[in-house]
């Protein structure tokens, strides 16, 4: 299964301490270099996300970086770089799945007949399969999803400092 992910899914799963759901569910994840090199370490990214990128000594074995080889169509130029490049890479690879949360990015991907899941879709799939959390114990996936929604609400209101105070 070929799965391409943009920035948002990494952000949320890192904040939820559930990033390793990606390789557990999908094996190898493909992402454009701009996600790992620009967007995740960006000063406006949450501190735990920046910290994860800074502690990397190499690219995780389950993660593959792949840049698009063709220029974007005009409508894709309106998207963030990670979303735009993820859609282009997914098209080039004829990926089975695109992991993306942004509404405009999802719409652009779906217009190109790409199958899209957001972070909630990843968490629901983990729950359906009865997967364990990062610590290897059963999780209340409903509580994890509720926490993700609180993160989204805080983030959309520009409360990054509040996220950091909560340890999220």
- The closest of 74, 70, 76 to 93, measured between CA atoms, is 70
Mean pLDDT over each residue of the chain, to the nearest integer: 86
Q: Buried b / exposed e across 148-161, counting CB within 10 Å, b at 16+?
A: beebeebbeeeeee
The strand order across the sheet containing 3-5 reads 63-65, 29-31, 3-5, 97-99, 116-117
Q: Supply 126's token pair.
A: 């983990």
Q: How confident is the model at residue 166 (pLDDT cuts 50, 70, 90)?
A: very low
**H/E element, 104:** helix 103-111
CA 51 to centroid of chain Cα atoms: 16
Q: Counting beta carbons within 10 angstroms of the beta carbon of residue 137, is it exposed (0 to 12), middle (13 to 18) or buried (19 or more)?
A: exposed
Q: Supply 110's token pair.
A: 């779906």
Instruction: Tell me the residue ranges of DSSP E strands in the chain.
Output: 3-5, 29-31, 63-65, 97-99, 116-117
On the question of pLDDT at 155 being above 70, the answer is no
User: What local confidence, expressed as pLDDT, does residue 154 receive?
Assistant: 65
Q: How confident is the model at residue 153 (pLDDT cuts 50, 70, 90)?
A: low
Of 25-34, 116-125, 129-138, give the lowest mean pLDDT range.
129-138
On the question of pLDDT at 46 being above 80, the answer is yes
- The closest of 8, 15, 9, 24 to 167, measured between CA atoms, is 15
pLDDT in tens, 53-105: 999 999 999 999 999 999 999 999 999 999 999 999 999 999 999 999 999 99
Residues 14 and 52 sit within 8 Å (Cβ to Cβ): yes
Q: How confident is the model at residue 161 (pLDDT cuts 50, 70, 90)?
A: very low
Q: How confident is the model at residue 23 (pLDDT cuts 50, 70, 90)?
A: very high
Q: How confident is the model at residue 134 (pLDDT cuts 50, 70, 90)?
A: low
Phi, psi of 155 (to 5 degrees): -65, -45
């Amino acid at each position: 299964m070929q799965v391409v992910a943009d920035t948002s899914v990494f952000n949320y799963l890192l904040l939820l301490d559930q990033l390793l759901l990606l390789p557990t569910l999908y094996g190898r994840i493909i992402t454009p270099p701009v996600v790992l090199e620009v967007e995740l370490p960006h000063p406006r990214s949450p501190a735990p996300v920046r910290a994860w990128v800074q502690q990397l000594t190499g690219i995780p074995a389950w993660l593959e970086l792949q840049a698009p080889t063709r220029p974007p169509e005009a409508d894709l130029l309106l998207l963030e770089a990670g979303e735009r490049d993820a859609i282009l890479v997914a098209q080039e690879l004829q990926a089975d799945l695109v992991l993306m949360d942004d509404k405009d990015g999802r719409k652009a991907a779906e217009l190109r007949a790409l199958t899209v899941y957001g972070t909630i879709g990843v968490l629901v799939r983990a729950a359906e399969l009865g997967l364990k959390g990062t610590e290897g114990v059963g999780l209340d996936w409903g509580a994890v999803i509720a926490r993700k929604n609180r993160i989204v609400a805080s983030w959309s209101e520009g409360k990054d400092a509040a996220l950091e105070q909560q340890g999220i």
